[in-house]
Amino acid sequence: MTEVRYRTVYADPPWNETGARKIKRGADKHYPLMKTAEIIEYMKQIPIDENAHLYLWVTNNHLTDGLEVMSALGFRYVTNIVWVKDRFGLGQYFRGQHEICLFGVKGHLPYKSQTGVSRSCCTETTVIQAKRTEHSSKPLEMYAKIENTSYEPFIEVFARIRREGWEAMGNQVPDTTQAVLTSQEES
């Protein structure tokens, strides 16, 4: 049996965001956190194709760590996607109202194109405007953006939901008896 080698990896790591105070208000209140070296080792377990795309959510504090993770996995940074939220959150100097998803390419894998259709009508933008929901949940619109740009097989690392057509791994993935999110359900 041939091992699946993923061509698209989508990840929202539990960055080591502990906050400045003794009161737990950040990510450490919701789930176990990982240091950058642990995130790299965890993600190195994923069988990734030699030509692949990576979408990696980073917190503002861990932007350089995100670039380190990309490089350690063999991806080169290309651009980022910004999620503009409907309200601001935590922050010491500035209250955050956006999150960044780094996009990288391993090998030579262009964007997905449709035969006979010009690139300008099908290329995704780098901005998502969506409401915040529960802690650390990312906008569902991101899945469509990825599916329109990148190639199967897809895997979501540090996943919190299951999506039809995607593999999911992480300690918050619902068991298989729960419903799988389909593209019709996001509309």
CATH number, domain containing residue 129: 3.40.50.150
Q: What's the number of domains the chain is made of?
A: 1
pLDDT surpasses 60 at 13: yes
Mean pLDDT computed over every residue of the chain = 84
Least confident piece of the model among 10-24, 82-96, 146-160: 10-24
Query: Does any domain span residue 130?
Result: yes
The answer to whether 157 touches 11, Cβ cutoff 8 Å, is yes
Give the count of beta carbons closer than 10 Å to the beta carbon of residue 180. Answer: 14
Residue 56 has what pLDDT?
98
Residue 170 lies in a domain: yes
The answer to whether residue 1 sits within a structural domain is: no
Contacts of 94 (CB under 8 A, 6+ apart): none
Residue scoring higher pLDDT (54 or 30): 54
